[in-house]
Amino acid sequence: MAEYESHTLDVLIIGAGGAGLRAAIEASATGARTALVCKSLLGKAHTVMAEGGVAAALGNVWPEDNWEVHFRDTMRGGKMLNNWRMAQLHAQEAPDRVLELEEWGAVFDRTADGRILQRDFGGHRYARLAHVGDRTGLELLRTCQQRAVSLGIEVFMECKIVRLLTDATGAVNGAVGFWRESGTFVVFGAKSVVIAAGGVGKTWKFTSNSWEGTGDGHALALWAGADMIDMECVQFHPTGMVWPPSARGILVTEGVRGDGGVLRNSDGERFMFNYIPDFYAKETADTIEEGDQWYENKTDFRRPPELLPRDEVARSINSEVKAGRGSPHGGIYLDIASRRSPEYIKRRLPSMYHQFKELADVDITVEAMEIGPTCHYIMGGIRVDADTAATTVPGLFAAGEAAGGMHGANRLGGNSLSDLLVFGRRAGQYAAEHALGRPDDVEIDRTQVDAVVGHALAPFARDGENPYAVHHALQETMQSLVGIIRTESELLEAREALDALEERAAASGVEGHRQFNPGWHLALDLESMLAVARCTTLGAIERKESRGGHTRDDFPGPDPEFAKVNMVTRMHDGAVVVAAEPLPEMPDELKTLFEEAH
Amino acid sequence: MSSEATVTAANRPAGAPAGSSSPADVTMRLWRGDASGGGFVDYTIENLGGEVVLDVVHRIQAEQAPDLAVRWNCKAGKCGSCSAEVNGKPRLMCMTRMSTLELSEPITISPMRGNPVIRDLVTDVSFHFAVARRIPAFHPGPREADGTYRMAQVDVERVQEFRKCIECFLCQNVCHVIRDHEENKPAFAGPRFFARLAELEMHPLDTLDRRELISRDLGVGLCNITKCCSEVCPEGIHITDNAIIPLKERVVDARYDPIAWLGRKIRRRPSPTPAYVTAALAPAAATGEVISTEPAPRATS
Ligand code: SF4
Ligand code: SF4
Ligand code: FES
């Protein structure tokens, strides 16, 4: 058998979006030999799609804002299923992470007195999102990218990791992947591995995620023995494009609503006023007049219900469409045209203006947008220690969307960019610390490598069906049976369907050669998506309640017993198993923040 | 491969678009091959309407040519991955609506000519990443006493125009200085990186002097202001007018008058505002009324 290209490192970071880059910057600052590996080119990661902003209690617009308010908003938005310690660290550290970006060249929009401007977003009590028009994710990614480049950090681009490697004790000590360009294999030996590989959206049919969002990071960790938590908590962003079909799922920023846009049904009614849950009644306007005054005066008026957390808005849209009050293409209307001047819209939402003009031939300064829920983000993910980002497997760390716990059952807009900065940094720091504490380079087990390579090449030797067909079938299954609204019988049906899909995937074959062959790449990505689908489905069956991004038709309300548990999925004897395990308990001094609420 | 490349219209759903402006089927003439050579292959596929070029390429990939190599990520014009030449024009495939093309003729899609081919529509972009590594990063001065950096919205808007860049490298691809002149590449950064350099040079907080690098090593002088780069930029960045020409001026100034350069670096800063004024300003700022009245320039192409 041929020799493999190999690289020996202290810290290997899988994924070069915001979390991965931030981890790399931190790890390399400690002197650890650090490298990033990513499936696409550098600077293309899904972080660019984050539009609205990065949430941080800087207090520039509202001096009353502070970490405690942010912490409380985050926990409430997450329906208290969050890992409290992660939510605390996040709220405390986000302001420093944003200011640091500025030092690295990020250029945020400014307040009148020259500081970073902050905007309103759903679930945040104060205008809190530092932003750059509606392209904040690009700004954050580019800033971290330019920082990493200036530090000389090595980046292995267009490389797909197939499996992690472990030593005799079960600790992670490297990874095997292949160059997409040539199809040749590469072995990374590393004392620490950080998973920062983002999300899983491609498992569903309508998604805002790019082709990369196939849950590779989740699957790699799962296969290496790590625990996953709350994988049933999946965020369907309320506003994705629904028309034309090719644009279906593409994100429409929440900033449209933050800047005055409202939701209307086919009767032109602002239906969100009919869906204000008790949990948020105290802080939500119950008349249109009050809601409209809030934009100008946030002290004396309550926010309009269009700015409720995403899970509430997505479910309400779903109900309106089901009740027959939807738009022609099965969505509802997002209207900013009748509420703000064309100049204002173009200045505040330039990318949205551009996106609708180019993709849908719709001028959003004149017409309402047709929108509907789209699979956007997974709150669940790899179980980590809040302070160190360490997973349950020694040597393996995780940050960003791949890690679970921070957002509980539902993520607030703007909290993901801050999450990846705060925990990307922590993962980099502790991964480096772990690596530097181990003097000798790792020893790679050659037989493991050979087995991974053999497995990865197997699709070429099979003449089963095209992996695209299996992928479409998986997306249909998850969309219709494990979508926004779930029910026991359908979830059990999904579990069975996954058995069959796994068999189909294992038999699927690819044609052509190894150089840049997307069919082959998909065959391997499909394994990750199937693993994610399994975890989500099992968690969804066991969580017999509705909470945040997990809604059960047969258990429509939250259940206090389920508020106390994470649904943990892990490998056991070659199969994924699920178990409810207790959540870490919040200390009393933080609990008081919720008593004096509003 | 080409034998499978024709799909019949037999299973086309009723109501699918027909007629000369929107025919039942379209023919996509895709370049297939690698560094050793290749050629165009025609794929005829149902015209579903409402699609962008990248959608049709993806359907060909899913139904007829699973090994067709193409880069993409966001499908929303935000990542700059899907650059190619559509009927000879450098475009983002995800932002090129089929309805804007003449569908009665085959639509030709070829890889960006300015880069070496890897496979099919995928090209080697390593030159651009190498240039990025040659540019000294942002280097700010000290923070204000209160720990913040202060900048006025008017000042940051100039910089923000360049930071919209999605690194699609379409501008690099059309620039004649390097498009067919591999030999110029070591001494020429290309329009994308002139925009980056202009961004750094105009940043109100940056303190480095990169003029020597810009004129001597990165070859701003080789640009003869044809504006081809600005014309293809999907982000509508006025690369030539707002980045390159000011850089050229700055570099010339430098030869004679270092003080003039310093004067340009030190920009009007808003004076720190007392806390009570900030509080009074807050509601206005929260509605998003930024100070400038200038709308950000956008592409309309
Ligand atoms: S204006 Fe200059 S940089 Fe732009 S395409 Fe022409 S020669 Fe190249
Ligand atoms: S300047 Fe414009 S054309 Fe050039 S890489 Fe950036 S976005 Fe693309
Ligand atoms: S796929 Fe991102 S710009 Fe086209």
Domain ranges of chain B: 25-123, 126-287
The yes-or-no verdict on residue B286 having pLDDT over 60 is: no
pLDDT of B267 above 50: no
Encoded tokens for A493: 């049906």
Q: Which of B48, B54, B63, B67 would you mutate first to test chain A, the one with the most A CBs within 10 A? A: B67
Nearest to A444 by CA among A53, A8, A119: A8
Q: Do A296 and B283 contact (CB within 8 A), yes or no?
A: yes
pLDDT of residue A246: 80
B39, B11, B38: which is closest to B25 by C-alpha?
A: B11
Distances (CA, A) of B215 to A558, B89, B239, B252, B255: 65, 30, 17, 9, 11
- What is residue B13's predicted lDDT score, i.e. its pLDDT? 35
Question: Residue A132: which of B63, B70, B160 has the nearest Cβ?
Answer: B160
Residue A231 and residue A150 share a domain: yes
Chain A: residue nearest B55 by CA?
Answer: A246
Specify the DSSP element, H or E, that contains A28. helix A18-29
Chain-chain contact of B151 with A114 (C-beta, under 8 angstroms): yes
Q: Which of A398, A421, A443 is the last residue of a domain?
A: A443
Q: Which of B53, B54, B138, B192 to mutate to test the interface with A (most CBs of A within 10 A)?
A: B138
Question: Residue B238 CA: which ligand is closest?
Answer: 2
Number of domains observed in the structure of chain A: 3
Asked whether B55 lines ligand 3 (CB < 6 A), one says no
Cα A118 from Cα B286, distance rounded (Å): 7
What residues are paired with A379 via a beta bridge? none
The H-or-E segment that residue A377 falls in is strand A369-378
User: Residues A286-303: pLDDT tens digits?
Assistant: 999 999 999 888 889 999
CB of B77 within 6 A of ligand 3: the answer is yes
Report if residue A588 sits inside a domain: no
**Nearest alpha carbon, ligand 1 atom 7:** B223
C-alpha span between B287 and A275 (Å, rounded): 25
Give the length of chain B.
301
In a domain, A591, yes or no: no
Is residue A550 assigned to a domain?
yes
State which of B192, B242, B298, B301 you would mutate to test the pocket of ligand 2, scoring each by most atoms of that ligand within 8 A of its C-beta. B192
C-beta atoms of B77 and A354 within 8 A: yes
**CA-closest residue to ligand 1 atom 6:** B226
pLDDT at B292 over 90: no
Q: Are A278 and A421 in the same domain?
A: no
Cα–Cα distance for residue pair A41/B288, rounded to 1 Å:
34
Question: With contact defined as beta carbons under 8 Å apart, do B103 and B22 qualify?
Answer: yes
Residue whose tokens read 């429409």: A252
Task: Give me the domain span that covers residue A286.
Answer: 239-374
In chain B, what are the helix, strand and coil shares in percent, each to the nearest 5?
40, 15, 45
| CB-CB under 8 Å, B125 with A343 | no
In three-state secondary structure terms, B111 is: coil
Q: Using a 6 Å cutoff on CB, does residue B239 contact ligand 2?
A: yes
Confidence at residue A245, expressed as pLDDT on a 0 to 100 scale: 80
The kind and range of the H/E element at B251 are helix B245-256
Residue A89 · residue A555 · CB < 8 Å: no
CATH number of B126-287: 1.10.1060.10
A192 and A296 inside one domain: no
Q: Are A137 and A63 members of one domain? A: yes
Ligand nearest to the CA of B167: 2
CATH at residue A202: 3.50.50.60
CA distance B253 to B248: 9
- The answer to whether residues A251 and A352 belong to one domain is yes
Query: Cβ(B94) to ligand 1 under 6 A?
Result: no
What separation in Å is there between the alpha carbon of B163 and the centre of ligand 2? 10
Q: Residue A128 and residue A412: Cα distance in Å, rounded?
A: 12
List of chain A residues with pLDDT < 50: 1, 598
Reduce the DSSP state of residue B98 to 3 states and report it: helix
Euclidean distance between CA atoms A233 and A83, whole angstroms: 14
The residues, any chain, with a CB within 8 Å of residue B27's CB and separated by 6 or more, are B42, B43, B44, B45, B105, B106, B107
A-B C-beta contacts closer than 8 Å: 225
Judgement on whether residues A30 and A88 belong to the same structural domain of the protein = yes
Ligand 1: nearest atom to the Cα of B227 = 1
Of the candidates B70, B74, B290, the beta carbon closest to that of A48 is on B74
**Sign of the torsion angle spanned by Cα atoms A375, A379, A380, A383:** positive
Q: Give the number of other CB atoms < 10 A from CB of residue A441.
A: 14
In this complex, do B152 and A110 lie within 8 Å of one another by their Cβ atoms? Answer: yes
Q: Helix A136-150 vs helix A415-436: angle between axes, to the nearest 10 degrees?
A: 20
Q: Is the CB of B195 under 6 A from ligand 2?
A: yes
What residues contact A588, with CB distance under 8 A and at least 6 apart? none
Q: Do A89 and A134 share a domain, yes or no?
A: yes
The reply to whether residue B34 touches residue A119, judged by beta carbons under 8 angstroms, is no
Ligand 1, atom 8, residue with closest C-alpha: B175
Closest residue in A to B282 (Cα–Cα):
A61
CATH 3.10.20.30: does it fit domain B25-123? yes
pLDDT of residue A31: 96
Q: How far is the CA of B175 from the centre of ligand 1 (A)?
A: 5
Cα B102 from Cα B105, distance rounded (Å): 6
Tokens of A562: 């389920």
pLDDT for the residue A596: 60
How close A528 comes to chain B (CA, Å)?
18
Give per-residue pLDDT as tens, B49-68. Answer: 888 999 999 999 989 998 89
Quick one: pLDDT at residue B262?
52
Check whether B15 has a pLDDT greater than 70. no
A246 chain-B contacts, CB cut-off 8 A: 48, 50-52, 55
Q: Is B128's C-beta closer than 6 angstroms to any atom of ligand 2?
A: no
Shared domain for A367 and A383, answered yes or no, is: no
Could you give the CA distance from residue A465 to residue A504 in angstroms, rounded to a whole number? 8
Q: Whole-prediction pTM value?
A: 0.89
Confidence class for position B255, pLDDT limits 50, 70, 90: low
CB contact under 8 A, A139 and B163: yes
Give just the sign of the alpha carbon dihedral B72, A524, A506, A399. negative
For the cut 80, the answer to whether the pLDDT of residue B253 exceeds it is no
Nearest chain B residue to A514, by CA = B67
Residue A275 CA to residue A316 CA, distance in Å, equals: 6
- CA–CA separation, A426 and A424 (whole Å): 5
The beta-carbon neighbor of A518 closest among B61, B118, B203 is B61
Verify that A322 and A413 share a domain, yes or no. no
Ligand 2 close to Cβ of residue B189 (< 6 A): no
Structure-block tokens of residue B21: 């402006």
Contact B76/A49, CB-based, under 8 Å?
yes
ipTM of this complex prediction, to 2 decimal places:
0.88
Q: What is the tally of helices (H) and strands (E) in chain B?
A: 11, 7
If one counts every other C-beta atom within 10 angstroms of the C-beta of residue A387, the result is 12
Closest approach of A267 to chain B, Cα-based (Å): 26
Are A293 and A279 part of one and the same domain? yes
Which amino acid would we find at residue A360? A
| 3-state DSSP assignment of residue A419 | helix
Contact B118 A516 (CB under 8 A): yes
Residue numbers in A near B120 (CB within 8 A): 516
A50 and A13, same domain (yes or no): yes
B92 CB under 6 A from ligand 3? yes
Residues of B within 8 A of A149 (CB-CB) are 132-133, 137
**Per-residue pLDDT tens digits for B107-139:** 999 999 999 999 999 999 999 999 999 999 999
| Residue of B162, B175, B222, B245 best suited for mutating to test ligand 1, as the one with most atoms within 8 Å of CB | B175
- Give the pLDDT score at B283: 33
Q: How far is CA B99 from CA B48, B56, B93, in A?
A: 11, 12, 13
Q: Are residues A465 and A548 in the same domain?
A: yes
Chain A closest-CA separation from residue B158 CA (Å): 10
Q: Which residues of A are catalytic?
A: 310
Tell me the chain B residues in contact with residue A60 when contact means C-beta distances shorter than 8 Å.
278
User: pLDDT of A25-61, one tens digit each?
Assistant: 999 999 999 999 999 999 999 999 888 899 999 999 9
Q: Do B67 and A520 touch (CB under 8 A)?
A: yes
CB pair distance less than 8 Å for A146 and B48: no
List the Cα angle B106/B108/B114 in 5-degree steps.
Answer: 170
The partner residues of A193 in beta bridges, in order of sequence, read A12, A396
What residues of A are in contact with residue B167 (Cβ under 8 Å)?
43
Nearest CA to ligand 1 atom 5: B175
Q: How far is the CA of B235 from the centre of ligand 2 (A)?
A: 7
B51·A347 Cβ contact <8 A: no
DSSP-assigned states of every residue in A273-341? GGG--HHHHTTB--SHHHHHHHTT-TTTSPBPGGGS-HHHHHHHHHHHHHTT---TTS-EEEE-TTTS-
Q: Is residue A99 part of a domain?
A: yes
From B79, B81, B171, B238, give the residue whose CB has the most ligand 2 atoms within 8 Å, as the site to mutate. Answer: B171
State which residue of chain A sits closest to B296, comparing Cα positions: A347
- Please say which residue of A374, A389, A406 terminates a domain: A374
Specify the CATH number for the domain of residue A309. 3.90.700.10
B244 lines ligand 2 (CB under 6 A): no
Q: Do residues A412 and A121 touch, judged by C-beta distance below 8 A?
A: yes
Burial (CB count within 10 angstroms: exposed 0-12, middle 13-18, buried 19+), residue A124: buried
Ligand 3 neighbourhood includes B84 CB (under 6 angstroms):
no
For residue B259, pLDDT beyond 60: no
What number of other Cβ atoms are within 10 A of residue A94's Cβ? 26
pLDDT (average), residues B87-102: 94
* Residue pLDDT, tens place only, A478-514: 998 999 899 999 999 999 999 999 999 999 999 888 9
User: What are the pLDDT digits (tens) for A105-154?
Assistant: 999 999 999 999 999 888 899 999 999 988 999 999 999 999 999 999 99
Question: Which chain A residues are Cβ-neighbours of B272 within 8 angstroms?
Answer: 113-114
Instruction: Tell me the sheet residues that pair with B52.
Output: B97
- 8 Å CB contact between B77 and A355: yes
d(CA A435, CA B177): 47
Higher pLDDT, A296 or B93: B93
* Nearest CA distance, B17 vs chain A (angstrom): 14
Q: B93 C-alpha to center of ligand 3: Å?
A: 7
pLDDT, residue B260, reads 52
Q: What is the total residue count of chain A?
A: 598
